[in-house]
Amino acid sequence: MIAVEHLSKSFGGNQVLKDIDEHIYPGEKVVIIGPSGSGKSTFLRCLNLLEVPTSGKVIFEGTVVNDPKTDINAVRRQMGMVFQHFNLFNNLNIRKNITLAPVQTKLMSQEEADETALKLLDRVGLKDRAEAYPAQLSGGQKQRIAIVRALAMRPKVMLFDEPTSALDPEMVGEVLDVMKELADEGMTMVVVTHEMGFAREVGSRVLFMDGGNILEQNEPHEFFAHPKEPRTIEFLSKVL
């Protein structure tokens, strides 16, 4: 579904991603873990071109995402993204937050979008907040709505960039629950996270990144039980 070929990314003289090759297959739940500064978020942000790769290719269903001739907006409509800091549109109420993109991109009429929004909000238990503004919501509520907003575009893959890192501990569960549900429905997901429990339970594959490389990967049970690389062992001993 997503192919990454020789992907490198530098900020100034600082090389953050070093010649990464990777495949993400339909239905997979790829969980990316690693220390901060390892390039996890940059890798994820290269997938929908929020960061422009310095060299290499990102290919989404046969389209080279980072080709200047590609209609990047059309690609992004099929890739939902959830951010660490939610990034709900502060000037719009929740219903408008969710319906803006589907309506503007002519995916749906306003009525269809409203209906979709209410259905999705109902699923995450926030139907009654449709007319509220982001500033009136808790972090957990904001993040659940951010997920719903991305889902309203009916994406083929969902990218999560540390979705629970900015949340109060008591709100992490409600967001992870929504993500688990999404995973159970068969959504293809790429998740950068520090939640090892989620990686183990929901992930179909865990990637460990350090220093701009994918150092090790495996299915979660094997990954956590028998890590091979010394750096992975060291990292896991600190976080588990």
Partner 1 sequence: MDILNWFASFGDKLFKAFLYEDRWKFYLDGLGVTISITLGAIIISTVFGMVLCLMKLSKRKILHVPAAVYIDIIRGIPMVVQLLIMYNVILLHVTDNKMIVAILAFGLNSSAYMAEIYRSGINAVDKGQTEAGRSLGLNQAQTMWHIIFPQALKNCLPTYTSEFIVLVKETAVVGYIAMVDLTKVYSSIQSKTYDAAGPLFIIAVMYFCITKVLAILFAHMERRLQSSDRR
Binding mask 109-138 for partner 1 (x = CB under 8 A): ------------------------x-xx--
9 in contact with partner 1 (CB under 8 A): no
> Smallest distance from the beta carbon of 79 to partner 1, in angstroms?
8
CB 137 within 8 A of CB 159: no
166 in contact with partner 1 (CB under 8 A): no
Cα separation, 150 vs 51, in Å, equals: 19
CB 84 within 8 A of CB 165: yes
Q: Residue 157's closest CA among 67, 37, 58?
A: 58
Residue closer to partner 1, measured from CB, 77 or 200 = 77
Pair of tokens at residue 104: 């503007």
CB 142 within 8 A of CB 88: yes
73 in contact with partner 1 (CB under 8 A): yes
70 in contact with partner 1 (CB under 8 A): no
Out of 5, 35, 50, 224, point to the residue binding partner 1 (CB under 8 A). Answer: 50
| CA-based R_g, the chain, Å | 18
Q: Residue 84's closest CA among 16, 159, 155, 30?
A: 159
Out of 69, 91, 169, 239, point to the residue binding partner 1 (CB under 8 A). Answer: 91
Cα separation, 96 vs 133, in Å, equals: 10
2 in contact with partner 1 (CB under 8 A): no
52 in contact with partner 1 (CB under 8 A): no
87 in contact with partner 1 (CB under 8 A): yes
Cα separation, 219 vs 64, in Å, equals: 28
Out of 5, 18, 35, 77, point to the residue binding partner 1 (CB under 8 A). Answer: 77
**Site residues for partner 1 per CB under 8 A:** 48, 50, 73-81, 83, 85, 87-93, 100-101, 104-105, 133, 135-136, 146, 149-150, 153
